[in-house]
Amino acid sequence: MSWLAFSLMATGLWGMWGFLSKVASQQLPPQAVYLLAICGHAVVIGYLWVGGGLAVPAHPWGLTAALLAGICMAFGLLCFLKALTLGAAAVVVPLTALYPLVTVILSKIVLQEPISPRQLLGVVLALAAVWLLAK
């Protein structure tokens, strides 16, 4: 399959994740939703370990970055779930979906990756879209 197919699948799955997280947050405290979501992660981890032949190469910076990424994801998820308990999913989900902007900025500053005028326009339009959805 192509990168586009996987990207579209990720978008659909993350869209369902946002919706189902709101449904769960209406019934359970964010800490409980978080713990149950981690159980969902365990299913995927089991698949990767058993069915996917998981092998982790010993690259210190790669391992460190991966672990830090997991910590950021975990605390971000907890903050996201708390935001859903306090705000409307129609506003919280699009606002938190702006996380790629942080990636774009860090990639430019730290990794020295170029940002094209078209990509910059995309950032501006994404900000405008969230502003319109929040009104």
CA distance 85 to 40: 20
Q: What is the pLDDT at residue 56?
A: 73
CA angle 26, 28, 34 (to 5 degrees): 110
What was the pLDDT predicted at 135? 66
Tell me how far apart the alpha carbons of residues 56 and 122 are, in angstroms, rounded to a whole number: 35
Q: What is the pLDDT of residue 123?
A: 86
Residues of the chain with pLDDT under 50: none
- The residues, any chain, with a CB within 8 Å of residue 95's CB and separated by 6 or more, are 130, 134
User: Which sequence spans correspond to the domains of the chain?
Assistant: 3-87, 98-135
pLDDT more than 70, % of the chain: 98
